[in-house]
Amino acid sequence: MKTPVFRGSSVAIVTPFKADGSVDFDALGRLIEFQIASGTDCITICGTTGEKSTLADGEHRECIRFCVEKVAGRVPVVAGTGGNDTRYSLSLCQYAESVGADALLCVTPYYNKASQTGLVRHFEYLADRVSKPVILYNVPSRTGMTIAPETYAQLARHPMINGVKEASGNFSLIARIRELCGDELNLWSGNDDQVVPMMALGAVGVISVVANVAPAAVSKMCRLALEGDFAAAARLQIEYLRLANDLFLEVNPIPVKTALGMMGLCSPDLRLPLCEMGAANADKLAATLRHYGLVD
């Protein structure tokens, strides 16, 4: 049995920017403190929601270092270090290790993609050369490919591959992963509208977008599920479904950054090719935030 890197809710934290486009580390520090104070169990830095794809290499590394130092061991830090260039991904993994990240989140290669054999070689190449747990990230809607159940079973045998953030939304796949891998591969939901159903199938938590704006609710939902109170957890899942849906009215992280701007927690600024939310969707999102008491 592999001990999970974390149980419960990890926020896929945004990367705030200043008006000049540079990373706003003061705002990032405030967001980290807000998350920890609200009961978030883990911080995931430089993922999709953190706009990793538009961070320069130096910025990416500095965000990881800053997050680890700011968290200071209070909760685990998972660093987004994946990519479609295996050697470059390894350099990020090794840097994250060197500054104290607790685990490494590695997405399936995108654009060039890979065969299932190539996926095994890619992830094993990374896992063979690191000393921190690797969390795979399967998100076919972003990468154009998926990890097959038999590939999961092969990767689960590697001692450094701890689990997977599963964002395929395919419950038949998820059930098959559990059948083939058991406790040798931990599962985290990558979809905020599917947290409780996935935990009913054995997932140990979520890497969450919604937790950016409602961290206490997501943390409580996971805690209830981990305690076996799936009825109460399901009620929270349904109660917050409107928020989960509206935070994906446009491509992530446009809505969640817009929401954080409305809440006064950080600037809503994004980096191209992402741009500001459409007016009608922004009005709908504002109404949803008011519904949950997140803005006046």
**165 in catalytic set:** yes
Identified catalytic residue from 70, 165, 220, 257: 165
DSSP 246-287: HTTSSSTTHHHHHHHHHTTSS-----TT--PPPHHHHHHHHH
This prediction has a pTM of: 0.95
Residues 6+ apart with CB under 8 A from 89: 81, 82, 83, 106, 126
- Decide if 40 contacts 75 (C-beta within 8 A): yes
8 to each of 4, 75, 228, how far by Cα in Å? 10, 11, 13
Q: Structure tokens of 69?
A: 């130092």
- Decide if 132 contacts 99 (C-beta within 8 A): no
Report pLDDT for 207. 98
Report pLDDT for 1. 78
Identified catalytic residue from 70, 137, 240, 257: 137
Report pLDDT for 19. 93
Low-confidence stretches of the chain (pLDDT < 70) are none
Task: Give, as one character, the DSSP assignment of residue 41.
Answer: -
How is domain 8-240 classified at the architecture level of CATH?
A: Alpha-Beta Barrel (3.20)
Report pLDDT for 125. 98
Q: What residues does each domain of the chain span?
A: 8-240
Closest CA to 72 of 32, 106, 109: 32
Environment class of residue 122 by beta-carbon count within 10 Å: exposed (0-12), middle (13-18) or buried (19+)?
Answer: buried
